[in-house]
Amino acid sequence: MIVIGAWYDHGMEKQRLSATVEADLLAAGRTAVAEGRARNLSAWVNDALKRQAEHDRRMAALDRFLESYESEHGEITDSEIRDATRRTRARAVVVRASAAERNTAADPPTSGVA
């Protein structure tokens, strides 16, 4: 069990929380603190909860949008999703080199002397 304090953020009311979490998640939080990626375990947990709350809000907004869209235009079919995926991939810009290009870039330059 962990107890999370309520003192580190300015301007936001904090409440004390007692929660039981998976051991590996607790270890990840402690590692983040030890590596300086979080001020303390409370901050790390608060940030995780904040991200989850934002994710939930966005998913709810997406659900509302899709419901509204489909009520006006009909249900989006699997075929339409495949077509949209195909068009999106065709327009995608590759920002990662292929394995062959990475290997070529790693080869030392030659001086032209055999």
> What pLDDT is recorded for position 62?
97
pLDDT in tens, the chain (114 residues): 454 544 445 567 889 989 999 999 999 999 999 999 999 999 999 999 999 999 999 999 999 999 999 999 999 999 999 999 999 999 999 888 777 777 776 666 555 554
**At which residue do the structure tokens 């394995």 appear?**
99
> What pLDDT is recorded for position 111?
54
Residues contacting 14, CB < 8 A, separation 6+: 5, 6, 7, 8
pTM of the model: 0.64
For residue 58, the SS3 value is: helix
> How crowded is the C-beta side of 75, counted as CA atoms within 13 Å?
3
> What pLDDT is recorded for position 101?
76
The ranges assigned to domains in the chain are 2-96
